[in-house]
Structure 1
Amino acid sequence: MSIAGLVLAAGAGTRFAGSTHKLRAQFRGSTVVQHAVEAALGAGLDAVYVVAGAVELRDLIPDGVILVQNHSWELGQATSLRAGVFIAEKDGHEAVVVGLGDQPLVGPESWRAVAEGEGDLVTATYRGRRSPPVKLGAAVWPLLPTGGDAGARMLMRMRPELVSEVSCSGDPVDFDTLEDLQSWR
């Protein structure tokens, strides 16, 4: 089965009061989004896509990673998820592992564990709490929401019988505010 990594990085990051967009903020020697992309790359998946929208990220994306531009990013995270799944499907992948560009402390081992999990809807858990990354097999792609800020989370609520969990290490904190970033420096 061909599995692609999909880093969602299209939002405006309006709660982040820093001097730059949260994804471009420096964190432990790199930018926040670069940590997320490197984790997806380190998982050894068949391809890695980054879905961008509100902020230019092209200069932060390494060679070999496919940048997907979501021109409808203002309509919510579901549009980014759909944009990435569309391109991954077009490129012949049968599943995607979806992570967030503002979660720099989720490592490649979490991406890999979720990719290897059994089923079409597999989520990472950290100390018993669900958080990305999430594997979505082609069988569930038609069930994904078309708008709003809930993508895989909404699908897991609607179809709990499809969900498999994989216990992962790391910390799934997302950097929504400048204070979030500063507390982890």
Structure 2
Amino acid sequence: MAGLLLAAGSGSRLGRPKALVEVGGQRLVDRGVRTLAEGGCAPVLVVLGAADTSVHGALTVLNSDWASGMGSSVRVGIDALPDTVDAVLVALADQPLVTAGAVRRLLLVHAQGARAAVATYGGNPRNPVLLGREHWSTVHAMAERDVGARPFLRTYSHLVTTVACDDIASPEDIDTAEDLARVRDRIDGP
């Protein structure tokens, strides 16, 4: 199972590319790669854009159209997946409270036969998202502007296995300085 980390945005509300922001002594992009790898994903690909940087332990792909939104990063990431990969787990760099445990839960339902799955929190689908190869072209076609796999998950909900991750992860994302402070408090402590 490949891991695909979306980390191309400029972080306009935060004032800097989120991929380069440090939390817990680690850049968000590196933390996301580690989470995917420790959860069992290989290879791990990272889609970069606003911040073109080296990332240890991952293959990087540059999205030259990153300013158009997350949809273009989903498309670029899917296009870059090796032919040998049968499924991918998509995660977002700005959600550092998603854990390797949540990744492992999604990989487990895949091993049990699920071909599309999504982590849920409070019953709401969020990230990460697991997609079997047969769904990539549909997700690719539906991903546009700042929307990734959400339209696929809604339209084809009957094909998607939901995986509760409330007890081991959080989908809190970092969009503003306040979000960053709150997440840092959770990771670093007071």
Please give the TM-score of this superposition, normalised by the length of structure 2.
0.87
Q: What is the alpha-carbon distance in structure 2 between the residues aligned to residue 173 and residue 157 of structure 1?
A: 21
- Which of 51, 61, 66 is matched with 2:59 structurally? 66
Q: Are 1:97 and 2:89 counterparts?
A: yes
- Which of 14, 37, 41 is matched with 1:41 structurally? 37
Match of 2:76 in 1: 83
Q: Secondary structure at the match of 1:113?
A: helix
Q: Are 1:112 and 2:112 counterparts?
A: no
RMSD: 1.4
- Which of 133, 144, 149 is matched with 1:147 structurally? 144
Q: What is the alpha-carbon distance in structure 2 between the residues aligned to residue 57 and residue 155 of structure 1?
A: 30
Match of 2:173 in 1: 174
Amino acid across the alignment from 1:184? V
8 A contact 2:123–2:164 mirrored in 1:
yes
8 A contact 2:4–2:46 mirrored in 1:
yes
Amino acid across the alignment from 1:8? L
Instruction: Give how far 1:129 is off.
Output: 2.1
Match of 2:156 in 1: 159
> Which ranges of structure 2 fall in alignment gaps of 5 or more residues?
185-190
Q: What is the alpha-carbon distance in structure 1 between the residues aligned to residue 59 and residue 18 of structure 2?
A: 21
Q: Secondary structure at the match of 1:140?
A: helix
- Which of 47, 53, 56 is matched with 1:51 structurally? 47
Q: Are 1:14 and 2:7 counterparts?
A: no
8 A contact 1:122–1:164 mirrored in 2:
yes
Q: What is the alpha-carbon distance in structure 2 between the residues aligned to residue 87 and residue 22 of structure 1?
A: 22
- Which of 118, 122, 132 is matched with 1:127 structurally? 122
Match of 1:30 in 2: 26
Instruction: Give how far 1:146 is off.
Output: 4.5
Q: Secondary structure at the match of 2:174?
A: coil
Q: What is the alpha-carbon distance in structure 2 between the residues aligned to residue 46 and residue 30 of structure 1?
A: 21
Match of 1:184 in 2: 183
Q: Percent identity?
A: 36
> Which ranges of structure 1 fall in alignment gaps of 5 or more residues?
none
Q: Are 1:136 and 2:134 counterparts?
A: no
Post-superposition Cα deviations, 1:56-81, rounded to whole Å, max 9, x if no partner, equal 231xx11x410011112122211111
Q: Which runs of 4+ in 1 moved over 4 A?
A: none
Please give the TM-score of this superposition, normalised by the length of structure 1.
0.89
Q: What is the alpha-carbon distance in structure 2 between the residues aligned to residue 149 and residue 120 of structure 1?
A: 24
Q: Secondary structure at the match of 2:175?
A: coil
How many residue pairs match? The answer is 177
Instruction: Give how far 1:33 is off.
Output: 2.1
Q: Secondary structure at the match of 2:94?
A: coil
Q: What is the alpha-carbon distance in structure 2 between the residues aligned to residue 53 and residue 9 of structure 1?
A: 7
Amino acid across the alignment from 2:159? L
